[in-house]
Chain A
Amino acid sequence: MNKHTAEEQSGCLVNRRDFIKLSSGAVALLANTALTRNVLAGRQGRKPKPKNILLIITDQQHIDTIAAGGCRHVRTPSLDRLKTSGISFTESYSANPVCSPARSAVFTGRTSSECTVYVNGRSIRSDIPNLGQWFSEHTDYETFYAGKWHLPRTYTSKILGFKVINTGIGGFGYLCDTAMSHACEGFLRNRSKSKPFLLVASFMQPHDICEWLRLNMDNREELRYPELAGELPELPDNFEFDKNEPEAIRKTRLGNEPFKGNWGKEQWRYYRWSYYRNIEHVDAEIGRVLHALEDFGHANDTLIVMTSDHGEGMGHHQMVRKSTLYNEAARVPLLFSWPGYVSGKQTDTTHLASGMDIMPTLCDFAGIKPPENMRGRNLRSIIEGTSARSNEFVVTEVSTNTGRMVRTEGYKYITYKNDSVEQLFDMKNDPGEIRNLAARTRYASTLTEHQKLLREFESKLDVPSNVPNAGVWQHKT
């Protein structure tokens, strides 16, 4: 199973159309024929606007978990289709690698500290509009939401600015993602094609790995399924970790199940195998929604955006889950697809992107200005290939507003409040973030530059004083 290339996998997958459907409507093909439409619209002096927008969010998805992106341990035909039909950003970062904070940034374009969502289970500050509120007020899109919200409740039938079409069950993605994708399918089947919509399909998976960790914490001498021994993914190159890390990272690691359970290497590999199966699960559910888009005639009129709230440790640096600023937890998939308007098969490996960029980017596609004080940037010109202008850097927060990361083209700088250990990584020559350069005199000026970038960024923020450590970041360094 884990030896196929993406191409082989796509070839051997059988989708629903291998069964003869007796009653479904005509199938609309994903026509990638008309980049000319984009050109024509440009000549007429206006930007094309998608009739519909579908924002797909997964929960806790490591960026390197898409077969078409080179991951050889999974079959992800649905994410492969999305990836190959549009543009994907490889340097895309969560604004805060924890569920609620990350989501607050996606839905507002502001930092999680500004939203006052510095930990899970808090609401977005009431004077900052969310995507649904902004679109309801300024566009003709009707706004719908299905699935996980977590601002503050994990699932709720009441979200400001959205009509909620389905909720879910907290912590049980395997069950509730099925209900959620069915709800989206029903919505797309019954929705009049003449009425524009913004639909958020927010899946819980692969987050079930959190339950998996608790149900597999104890050290086992033997693999529960010995027949899997030959299929388990290898350990990552950066499995070992630096003993001189900031205290916050060390504490997080020691509190995780692998350390409590004293795992052996085979158990780590079984955890990675299990995580990949959760990825395949959510991929299949995403597939149901994509098929419904096609089957009911919305595919060519819909801009699809796909991302995740944060990544997953996956054994890199012997970490699991999230809450750190290493790439495995901080980077997330970010895909844009719009047949005929966004060229397919683009992998953008140079431009930095943030979860905060989604709000201003969607506003541009919808033909409206974003709310004031966006911290994210509009990625549309990069998506459409009309400009190479990029984020000079992105900032990510973490740990109840005690940690910060600045990622520039070449380096990543990490700092925590009241911790003298800083981290600086050369992301071109050390993408696994193994060699901390912060204490090396040769990199002193690089370190200073990144500290300055962070200070300047922080000085522009509007963080309420009731947020823990609100004042720290403007003065630190």
Chain B
Amino acid sequence: MAKKQRTIVGSPLTPTLLKELDALNKLPFTPEDFKPDGNWVSTYRIWTCHGYQESGNQNVGFLRIERIGGSDETFVLNVRQEVVQTDAITHIIDGKIKCSNNQLASPVEWKLKSEFIGADGKHISELRSGDNSIATERAERTTGDWCLFEAVQRLALDAQNSFSFDLLERMSLKKPDHRLSYRGVTLLKVDDIDIPLHCFVQLGSGILPNEYWLDSRRRLLFVTSMNKAYILDEQAEQIIGREVEESRKSYQRKREQKL
């Protein structure tokens, strides 16, 4: 049988390209009263791209971030990320991060829990791990990748602004010498209407560039980085939940066929 021809995407992921690749069906709605420094919950589908237009592009998980305002000095982010892997093994990270109310939402104190769920839907106790940590004074110019999802919504949309910091990825891996800057406005055409999206770019060690895309109410709609995108989608947990169920059933079917 002749090998199926696939079309190489050719250019980096952007909101327009997400739309062309059917990763984005409609633009998420942001309520008028959305306040970046208020209380909110944002859930993102984690979508991955293999670099071909026709195949290999899929939702692999979700990231939910809940912001709870605290004192003038701090606020809390509750984070949950689930990634569904081959043979229905799911990796879950739960985090509670107390952040400084500074521009970068620097983490002050946090609890993290990592766990795995097998194809049978049960927790794999042998793989559990977790950490409780507090930042030292040296962490003033540090922020986490999840914290940046919150911080970019509060930053001024000003090309003159640029921030330097060290990244604490997944609240555990230190990646030094990062910078974040505002890149301006790009128009995304939806139903023949041009929607302005504001973009911040993050560059630094140990990551490929992250692009943060916000709407005019300063809500973070997308984060694109090389072959993955976080797409704001209130249905994200249900979509992934269904995929987990299907993946488990498929795995069980295969096992039964082998038996």
| Residues of A bordering B, CB below 8 Å | 1, 12-16, 18-24, 75, 153-158, 165-172, 174-176, 178-179, 182-183, 185-187, 189-191, 208, 210-218, 220, 224-225, 227-228, 257, 260-261, 274, 277-278, 280-281, 283-285, 287-288, 292
In the complex, which residues of chain B have a beta carbon less than 8 angstroms from the beta carbon of A189?
A: 128-129
In the complex, which residues of chain A have a beta carbon less than 8 angstroms from the beta carbon of B209?
A: 224-225
In the complex, which residues of chain B have a beta carbon less than 8 angstroms from the beta carbon of A216?
A: 10-12
Q: Restricting to B177-208, which residues have a CB under 8 Å from any CB of A?
A: 177, 181, 201, 203, 205-208
Q: Is B163 an interface residue (CB 8 A)?
A: no
Contact of A278 among B46, B114, B173, B208 (CB under 8 A): B208
Contact of B138 among A18, A224, A261, A287 (CB under 8 A): A18
Judge whether A186 and B176 touch: CB under 8 Å.
Answer: no
Chain B, interface size: which category?
35 or more
Interchain nearest-CB distance for B248 vs A (Å): 12
In the complex, which residues of chain A have a beta carbon less than 8 angstroms from the beta carbon of B135?
A: 19
Task: Type the 1/0 row for B1-44, where 1 means its CB is closer than 8 Å to any CB of A.
Answer: 00000001111110000000000000000000000000000000
Interchain nearest-CB distance for A232 vs B (Å): 12
Judge whether A178 and B170 touch: CB under 8 Å.
Answer: yes
Interchain nearest-CB distance for B123 vs A (Å): 11
In the complex, which residues of chain A have a beta carbon less than 8 angstroms from the beta carbon of B61?
A: 175
Judge whether B129 and A185 touch: CB under 8 Å.
Answer: yes
Contact of B132 among A21, A183, A210, A280 (CB under 8 A): A21
23 pairs from A and B in contact (CB 8 Å cutoff) = A12-B176, A14-B166, A18-B174, A19-B133, A21-B131, A23-B130, A75-B206, A153-B86, A157-B251, A175-B48, A175-B83, A178-B83, A186-B115, A189-B129, A212-B208, A214-B51, A215-B13, A224-B12, A278-B208, A280-B207, A283-B206, A284-B173, A288-B173
Q: Is B216 an interface residue (CB 8 A)?
A: no
Q: Is B80 an interface residue (CB 8 A)?
A: no
CA A22 to CA B109, docked complex, whole Å: 10
| Residues of B bordering A, CB below 8 Å | 8-13, 46, 48-52, 56, 60-61, 83, 85-87, 89, 91, 93, 114-116, 119, 124-136, 138-139, 166, 169-170, 172-177, 181, 201, 203, 205-209, 225-228, 251
In the complex, which residues of chain B have a beta carbon less than 8 angstroms from the beta carbon of A278?
A: 208
Query: Which 3 A-B residue pairs are closest in the complex by CB-CB distance?
Result: A214-B51, A186-B127, A179-B91
Judge whether A174 and B228 touch: CB under 8 Å.
Answer: yes
Judge whether B114 and A182 touch: CB under 8 Å.
Answer: yes
CA A189 to CA B130, docked complex, whole Å: 10
In the complex, which residues of chain A have a beta carbon less than 8 angstroms from the beta carbon of B136?
A: 18-20
Interchain nearest-CB distance for B174 vs A (Å): 5
Q: Which of A23, A170, A182, A208 has the most CB of B within 10 A?
A: A182
Interchain nearest-CB distance for B31 vs A (Å): 30
CA A165 to CA B124, docked complex, whole Å: 9
Judge whether A274 and B208 touch: CB under 8 Å.
Answer: yes
Judge whether B206 and A215 touch: CB under 8 Å.
Answer: no
Judge whether A190 and B125 touch: CB under 8 Å.
Answer: yes
Contact of B172 among A170, A215, A217, A288 (CB under 8 A): A288
Judge whether A13 and B86 touch: CB under 8 Å.
Answer: no
Judge whether A211 and B126 touch: CB under 8 Å.
Answer: no
Judge whether B169 and A157 touch: CB under 8 Å.
Answer: no
Judge whether A217 and B119 touch: CB under 8 Å.
Answer: no
